[in-house]
Amino acid sequence: MGDPDKKWDFYLRTLSSSARDSNLAGDPASEALLNAVRKLCQLCKEENSEDLVARVYPHFNKLFQRSVASLPQSRSSYGLLLLDIIQFFLDFGEIVLHDADPSLRSFFRSCLSREFADLTVAEATLNFLNVNKRKLLASYPALLPQFFPLLLKLIAWNGEKLLLSFLKVFPELISPASFLPLFPSLVDLPMLVVAMERVERSSGSLIGSSIASIQNSTAPEMLLALMDEAYTGSTIGDGGADSESEDTNAIDAADPLFLELLKDENDGLAERHRTSPSMAAALQAAVNAPQSDRLKQSLKIAPGLLDVYCAIAIRDVNDSLICSLIPLLMARNDVLFPDKNYSYQVRKRLLEFMLTSFQRSPNFIALLKKPIMDRLGQAYDSSAKTELALQLCWAIGEHGGGGTSHRDAARELFENLELLLYENLSSRESALGSDSENFRKSSQSRLLCFVITAIAKLATHHHELLPRARVARSRISDVRVWRRARDYLGLIDDPAISLSVLGPSQGRVQKPGTVNWSDGGTKMIAHIPFYLLGEQEGSPFHDFSFSDIFPRT
């Protein structure tokens, strides 16, 4: 073991000489310099000497500032060096009175934005964030939520190799400021991969250049030209004299969706541009061509991240933010990356989250009646919108249009369901035609059965709607829908059974004469509602006494 003072002096001289040595000055992240920084950090921890920390700090601070200033003109990697210096600032900032926040932000904006595609730097960054997670949350809670778009680039570009490390830090990206903007970024993770791969094909390696500056570079011209080639089949140089002006107009549109996908910082905006011809062209080209390994991995990763996001939302996020998220969720239900399995997996999670939110806070249905009614009106635009409408109908009925305290909202929803019912019944009077038409009408009948169920449940919750529900039953001509109306709306004539079968499943006030179905598991009467609604004729084949299940008054 040598003299510690000599070790300190040796490594300090290395730092000092880096400013004068042309080789070291040209490559501040050289092996010798990186080794000197790491050894000095280790010695400061081992020796626990404030004097040593005070001697080292000015050198580290100058080196950090010089490295950040050199980044735009250099193709060298600075990530590991800057992370080691920032670790020193975090460990000994109180001793030298250094606030690490500006240094952290400089690292994200100047370095990581250029080196996220470098696997070594990306892995080191995630390890750094996980090691310092508690300290960052305590001292700089807004840091990670602000830079979540940049951190998503780490996992989008480097894929499953970093998934475990990323999952450890991912919950810290969620805050009140990032909760809503983070949702479309997770859903669009495969689109982010497509965008970055397009930039790489048009402008070369992503390492060493910040693609967030695409708006101020020539990359958009090349990018949009490649998309035009994929979409129209024309080459970049084709198009004659008029092509140049047309391309310029397309670039002037600036393709805001691409710019939003490639941004590095959270701008607080949850709504994204959806009318993007060049993005549509890029997605079409991605679907038609064999998927890259990076894209395949993002299609697997995004649903898992959504699971974590939804679990944290249900557990920790306030009602106001969740209520604001649901319209975004409904809007994105049919605007997903065009991969069949991915769309199914994401859509399933979105609908489950929406229903869970309504279950937790039924008043959301009343608060969101306008977007809900808009989605019901779009029920036949696509299969995804039909499925969303089915789930919304179920939620409206199950939760009584928001509950007994929201009678006006329940009435508006009831009227909207009535309109949907009558409009669709009138369109079914024509004879069956092609297979596609038959399938459409079958889907239509399925939706109308859900509508009838919602109408019956709303009338059970809000008795003033009972007469209108009976009228709805009398005007149904479709056999399948009429049977559903007969079963469900027929129960309305027996208030006790109707309240038990069609009433709210939670928060129910037990009244004399209503059936306590929760006792069915022990009293062998759990099949009663299935008999009532099963279109069976005659008396039931079993024998029981209703006195066993009627609550005593």
Contacts of 217 (CB under 8 A, 6+ apart): 203
- Using the predicted structure, report yes or no on whether residue 6 has a pLDDT greater than 90: no
d(CA 417, CA 404): 18
pLDDT per residue over 330-368, tens digit each? Answer: 999 988 998 999 999 999 999 999 999 999 999 999 999
- Using the predicted structure, report yes or no on whether residue 239 has a pLDDT greater than 50: no
Written as six digits, the tokens of 493 are 């004539």
Residue 517: its pLDDT value, please? Answer: 52
d(CA 291, CA 286): 7
Residue 175 buriedness (CB in 10 A; 0-12 / 13-18 / 19+): middle
- Per DSSP, 505 falls in state S
pLDDT per residue over 51-100, tens digit each? Answer: 889 999 999 999 999 899 988 888 788 999 999 999 999 999 999 999 99
Residue 413: its pLDDT value, please? Answer: 93
Q: Which of 6-20, 47-61, 113-127, 383-397 has the lowest mean pLDDT?
A: 6-20
d(CA 320, CA 182): 16
pLDDT per residue over 271-291, tens digit each? Answer: 766 656 666 777 777 778 888
